[in-house]
């Protein structure tokens, strides 16, 4: 078990970074002097390269999600203090479950809509075909919109937080804190598909430094909550949950789930701390099933997130932490099952 990674050491879970072992201010193999900004760029590129195939950005949200899940899992396997990354592996996997559910809805409704269109054909009265397929088409659009927003949020949290862990892991706490402001300059190329007015890349939120300070001090449970606050409120709230369309989709899903709408076109809001999509007893935290609960409201969402964080902490400190490790190893190998 890698309870604590030593900066500068080689870790079997992750390949060393481009500038591994080279002090800032020294000449790098490429002939350039290594600056803090160039060092940050190397970890940002590492994160982006994980989401590419042959140098091209992966377009498929589900494949990109699997890679993100695996990368988070490998962070935790490299250093058990990275408990937020362990939680993120499960949470990101749950996003993947949501993407699968959206894909199932899209496929089922498209097939039903096409069947109706073939059945009615050209002989139907004006408006009949349109009326019969309108609800199906609307549901398809909603599922597609939800999938796009889930994938967008999932990707940008990863691009924000993964490089922070890698810098801290390789360079240590003192260098991390000293160099953190340099990341905000971002004069190097960054994949960041969010308007600066919505959320600037590497915005200087205090939760980042505080979260890694807590890791350094061994305050692991506290660090998970702090980094979860950053992930959920500083990043996802701004780029996903503040969208009026996303709020409408989430409210519809909440109502359909609460009343168990017969169509089944909804996704239960759960975080399952296993490598499987279906909920498993003892590993699952569930959001309020009140029909008017608002997942997009951080005041209602964060207690759910913190409850999941606390449950993971309990499982890791309980009699069978190996079950959690086995699940994370499964996620790290992309072997998640629906």
Distances (CA, A) of 220 to 8, 46, 54, 66, 298: 22, 25, 37, 26, 22
Residues 288-314 have a mean pLDDT of 95
Asked whether the beta carbons of 71 and 92 are under 8 A apart, the reply is no
Half-sphere exposure of 250 (CA within 13 A, CB side): 22
Q: What is the pLDDT of residue 98?
A: 66
Q: Is residue 248 part of a domain?
A: yes
Q: Is residue 18 part of a domain?
A: no
Among 280, 287, 265, which Cα is nearest to 315's?
A: 280
Residues 315-321 have a mean pLDDT of 91
Which percentage of the chain shows pLDDT scores above 90?
59
CB count within 10 Å of CB 113 equals 19
Residue 147 lies in domain:
36-332
Q: What is the 8-class DSSP label of residue 7?
A: T
Query: How far is residue 195's CA from residue 204's CA, in Å, rounded to a whole number?
Result: 16
Cβ contacts of 38 within 8 Å, gap of 6 or more: 19, 28, 32, 188
Among 158, 186, 150, 145, which Cα is nearest to 51's?
A: 158
Q: What is the 8-class DSSP label of residue 123?
A: G
Q: Report phi then psi at 284, rounded to 5.
A: -115, 130
Among 255, 288, 258, which Cα is nearest to 270's?
A: 288
Distances (CA, A) of 265 to 138, 180, 253, 262, 308: 12, 44, 8, 8, 25
Q: What is the pLDDT of residue 202?
A: 94
Paired residues of 276 in beta bridges = 337
Query: How far is residue 309's CA from residue 311's CA, in Å, rounded to a whole number?
Result: 5
Q: What is the pLDDT of residue 110?
A: 53
Secondary-structure percent of the chain, ordered helix, strand, coil, rounded to 5: 60, 5, 35
Q: What is the pLDDT of residue 119?
A: 61
Sign (positive or negative) of CA dihedral 51, 55, 57, 58:
negative
Q: What is the pLDDT of residue 130?
A: 44
Q: Is residue 116 part of a domain?
A: yes
Give Cα 120 distance to the centre of its chain. 43
- Given a cut of 80, whether residue 123 has pLDDT beyond it is no
Q: Is residue 9 part of a domain?
A: no
Q: Is residue 1 part of a domain?
A: no
Residues 37-47 have a mean pLDDT of 95
Paired residues of 56 in beta bridges = 53
Query: How far is residue 260's CA from residue 257's CA, in Å, rounded to a whole number?
Result: 5
Number of domains in the chain: 1
Q: What is the pLDDT of residue 133?
A: 42
Of residues 185 and 175, more confidence is placed in: 175
Q: Is residue 202 part of a domain?
A: yes
Find tokens 């019969």 and name the residue: 132
Asked whether the beta carbons of 84 and 223 are under 8 A apart, the reply is yes
Q: What is the mean pLDDT of the chain?
A: 84
Per residue in 221-276, pLDDT (tens digit) is 999 999 999 999 999 999 999 999 889 888 887 877 766 654 455 677 889 999 98
Q: Is residue 48 part of a domain?
A: yes
Of residues 9 and 59, more confidence is placed in: 59
Residues 303-309 have a mean pLDDT of 96
Of residues 47 and 266, more confidence is placed in: 47
Residue 322 tokens, joined = 């190996």
Residues 178-185 have a mean pLDDT of 93
Give Cα 267 distance to the centre of its chain. 17
- Given a cut of 90, whether residue 294 has pLDDT beyond it is yes
């Amino acid at each position: 078990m890698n309870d604590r990674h030593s900066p500068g050491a080689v870790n079997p879970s992750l390949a060393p970074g481009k500038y591994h072992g080279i002090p800032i201010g020294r000449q790098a193999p490429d002939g350039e002097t290594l600056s803090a900004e160039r060092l940050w760029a190397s970890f940002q590129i590492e994160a982006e390269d994980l989401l590419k195939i042959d140098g091209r950005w992966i377009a498929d949200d589900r494949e990109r999600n699997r890679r993100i899940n695996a990368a988070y899992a490998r962070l935790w396997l490299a250093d058990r203090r990275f408990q937020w990354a362990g939680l993120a592996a499960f949470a990101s996997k749950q996003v993947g479950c949501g993407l699968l559910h959206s894909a199932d809805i899209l496929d089922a409704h498209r097939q039903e809509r096409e069947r109706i269109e073939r059945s009615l054909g050209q002989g139907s009265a004006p408006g009949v075909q349109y009326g019969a397929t309108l609800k199906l088409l609307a549901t398809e659009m909603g599922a597609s919109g939800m999938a796009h927003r889930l994938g967008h949020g999932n990707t940008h949290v990863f691009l924000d937080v993964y490089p922070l862990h890698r810098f801290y892991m390789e360079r240590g706490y003192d260098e991390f804190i000293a160099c953190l402001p340099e990341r905000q300059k971002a004069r190097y190329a960054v994949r960041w598909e969010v308007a600066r007015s919505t959320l600037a890349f590497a915005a200087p939120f205090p939760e980042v430094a505080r979260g890694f300070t807590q890791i350094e001090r061994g305050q692991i449970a506290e660090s998970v909550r702090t980094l979860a606050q950053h992930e959920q409120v500083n990043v996802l709230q701004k780029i996903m949950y503040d969208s009026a369309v996303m709020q409408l989709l989430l409210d519809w899903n909440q109502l359909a789930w609460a009343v168990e709408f017969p169509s089944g076109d909804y996704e239960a809001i759960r975080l399952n701390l296993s490598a499987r999509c279906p909920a498993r007893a003892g590993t699952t935290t569930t959001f309020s099933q009140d029909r008017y609960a608002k997942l997009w409201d951080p005041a209602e969402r964060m207690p759910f997130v913190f409850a999941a964080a606390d449950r993971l902490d309990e499982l890791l400190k309980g009699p069978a932490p190996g079950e959690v490790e086995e699940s994370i190893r499964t996620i790290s190998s992309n072997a998640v099952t629906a």
